[in-house]
Amino acid sequence: MTKFEALGLDKPLLDAITDLGFESPSEVQEKAIPILLENDTDLVALAQTGTGKTAAFGFPLIQKIDSKSRTTQGLILSPTRELCLQITNEIKLYSKYVKGLNVVAIYGGASISEQANQIKRGAQIIVATPGRMKDMINRGMVNISKIDYCVLDEADEMLNMGFMEDIKDILSNTPDEKFTWLFSATMPREVSTIAKKFMHNPQEITVGAKNSGATTVQHEYYVIGGRDRYPALKRLADTNPGIFSVVFCRTKRDTQRVAEKLIEDGYNAGALHGDLSQNQRDLVMNAFRKKQIQMLVATDVAARGIDVDDITHVINYQLPDEIETYTHRSGRTGRAGKSGVSMVIVTRSELRKIKAIENKLQTEFLSKKIPTGMEICEIQLYHLANKIKNTEINEQVDNYLPAINDVLQGIDREELIKKIISVEFSRFYDYYNKTKDLNISDRGERSEGRDRSKVEIPTSGSVRYFINVGERDDYDWMTLKDFIKETVGLGREDVFKVDVKESFSFFNTDAEHSEKVLSTFTEFKVDGRFVNVEVSNNPGGGGRGRGGRDRGGDRGRSSSRSRNKGGDRGRDRSRNNDNRGSRDSGGGYGSKKSKRRY
Ligand code: ADP
Ligand code: MG
């Protein structure tokens, strides 16, 4: 008996699992599957990304559904179109031996009538983004009044993106007797609100890091070049529109400087450090308590004893000297049973400190990537659209409506929406449009760069490009190659070395095509989203290879040539940064000479 069989899964699923090459269940699968198969119960499962949550709910869902009935029995809500498609594909793979089972994906930016048709043909499982789902309910295109199971996947992300109201609406169209399975990486207050309001005595499982201290704090680190600390901080803030945070710096000077820069850049920020008068400090703290300040930049001493609940994020702009201090910092969040995130911005040379804290705290840190500019734009766009939707109308507006109508006369709805969104969105888009990837891998490579200013377009040989779509957009090297070929109007062999990563990709063409490629992808949109192509400053191994296939090696950790290049650059940068860092830290963390506690 295999481990999967022991969980209670039936033959069709076991056969599919064999095909998929899964050897043993992941922890969340091991915990969730038996509970969901044996009981009819609500469930709250907390587990990080990449722990196999899709199968944890997918397997039991598939097994419990009656594939002979055409009624829609299961609804899976997920935050983005990419995830929605990803889950749909996974469910299809899992259920390949289950006859008659249909899964349909519902998401914005694609034909709604086509999706409605697919549902009409019978969909026992629907995987949907909240916005489109609600739209289709309103138009009577779906019927979820008989579902038995509702899965809220990545619940924290959905709420972060502002889908609370949509989710409530959608759930109000489902029967009370259904079972709700909520999956989330973290448990912020909004998620527990949903759990309390819409679930009945849910069983709870938690997977992964068991911290000694506050179990509700998730620790994350982001590896960047030393000079990119501030831009990285901005991106972390922009990725979390509702952030309410304390940002810790090591010195009063840095604290003041970072706060000033944030204010200059339009954030609700304030500084808290010992050079301020008591009166000034009181003012800042009051503003912070009232949430007029979203990012409180503070020194450790000044922040001691901040007793504000609801802090969503602690950001370690720089790591403190002592591990104890780190514990105090991260303890500012995750209070009163709420969950929080402690983020650390580090250079590669500081990774040892992370290891040291992990050991001391018996906690695992998650290595995370600073989102790319385009990812932030997408998050902000959703956030903004939902903010507009959820805004309560101010009745006073009525008085001015005739005059406003005069001004806006002749603009149709579509255009008006675009304009309204652009008012805010352009700020992010203009800023992030051409920014580079800030991440440096744990092993010292900077992700293949795309700082256009440094790039010269070769006039002969082959040109390597960066494109901001990847696996998350459901591309593999073949489909991406076809997409580029068809969009630009190139021949079979003209696009090569296609290398698809999670959220972006690379490809080559001969230099003669570069103008055509770049002009095609200027202001180019798919489903309302900008698809951006730029010349990469990584040559990607030069000449024509065997096409996309050889990326298998690349992908593991890039071919020797590109690694050396990226690696050197990464090392240079962190060396610069080290000069300052290591003088401070007295000969390195973990070494015998070190007086510090890492
Ligand atoms: P999550 O939703 O937790 O982020 P996913 O469900 O997307 O994670 O799974 C991440 C990857 O792991 C997927 O590619 C999936 O096919 C794979 N995977 C899931 N379960 C197993 C398993 N038991 N053994 C091997 N791979 C697995
Ligand atoms: Mg998932």
What does the pLDDT look like over 123-162, one tens digit per residue? 999 999 999 999 999 999 999 999 999 999 989 888 877 8
Name, in order, each residue with C-beta under 8 angstroms of 543's C-beta and a sequence gap of 6 or more. Answer: 461, 462
Q: Which CA distances in Å does 167 have to 81, 152, 170, 202?
A: 16, 9, 5, 18
How remote is the CA of residue 29 from the centroid of ligand 1, in Å?
A: 10
Best residue for ligand 1 mutational test, from 17, 18, 22 (most atoms within 8 Å of Cβ): 22
How remote is the CA of residue 53 from the centroid of ligand 2, in Å?
A: 5
**Residue 498 CA to its chain's centroid (Å):** 24
What does the pLDDT look like over 428-478, one tens digit per residue? 888 888 788 888 876 544 444 433 334 566 777 888 888 988 888 888 888
pLDDT at 217 over 70: yes
Q: Is 191 helix (H, G, I), strand (E, B) or coil?
A: helix
Among 274-288, 359-373, 542-556, 575-589, where is mean pLDDT lowest? 575-589
Which of 502-539 are b and which e, b meaning 16 or more Cβ less than 10 Å from the residue's Cβ?
ebbbbbbbbeebbeebbebbeeeeeeebbbbbbbbbbb
pLDDT at 442: 63
pLDDT at 336: 60
How remote is the CA of residue 522 from the centroid of ligand 2, in Å?
A: 32
The ligand 1 atom nearest the CA atom of 22: 24
Cα radius of gyration rounded to whole Å, the chain: 25
The ligand 1 atom nearest the CA atom of 90: 16
What does the pLDDT look like over 332-386, one tens digit per residue? 887 665 678 999 999 988 888 898 888 888 788 888 889 888 888 888 888 888 8
pLDDT interval class at 539 (50, 70, 90): low
What does the pLDDT look like over 43-93, one tens digit per residue? 999 987 678 899 999 999 999 999 999 999 999 999 878 789 889 999 999
pLDDT at 283 over 60: yes
Helices assigned H by DSSP within 391-462? 397-408, 413-432
DSSP labels, 469-517: --GGGT--HHHHHHHHHHHHT--TTTSEEEEE-SS-EEEEEEGGGHHHH
How remote is the CA of residue 26 from the centroid of ligand 1, in Å?
A: 8
pLDDT at 5: 94
Best residue for ligand 1 mutational test, from 2, 26, 49 (most atoms within 8 Å of Cβ): 26
CA 187, CA 365: separation in Å to the nearest integer? 17
CA 247, CA 288: separation in Å to the nearest integer? 12
Ligand closest to 53 (CA) is 1
Residue nearest to atom 13 of ligand 1 (CA): 52
Residue nearest to atom 1 of ligand 1 (CA): 50
How remote is the CA of residue 106 from the centroid of ligand 2, in Å?
A: 16
584 versus 157: the higher-pLDDT residue is: 157
CA 90, CA 53: separation in Å to the nearest integer? 11
Cross-strand bridge partners of residue 345 = 222
**DSSP H or E stretch at residue 12:** helix 11-20
pLDDT at 440: 80
pLDDT at 540: 54
pLDDT at 576 over 60: no
236 versus 535: the higher-pLDDT residue is: 236
Cross-strand bridge partners of residue 219 = 342
CA 339, CA 189: separation in Å to the nearest integer? 7
Highest mean pLDDT among 76-85, 92-101, 217-226, 308-317: 92-101
Dihedral (CA of 105, 110, 116, 118) sign: negative
Which residues lie with the beta carbon below 6 Å from any ligand 1 atom?
22, 25-26, 29, 47, 49-55
How remote is the CA of residue 61 from the centroid of ligand 2, in Å?
A: 15
Residue-averaged pLDDT of the chain? 82
How remote is the CA of residue 169 from the centroid of ligand 2, in Å?
A: 23
Residue nearest to atom 19 of ligand 1 (CA): 52
pLDDT at 195 over 80: yes
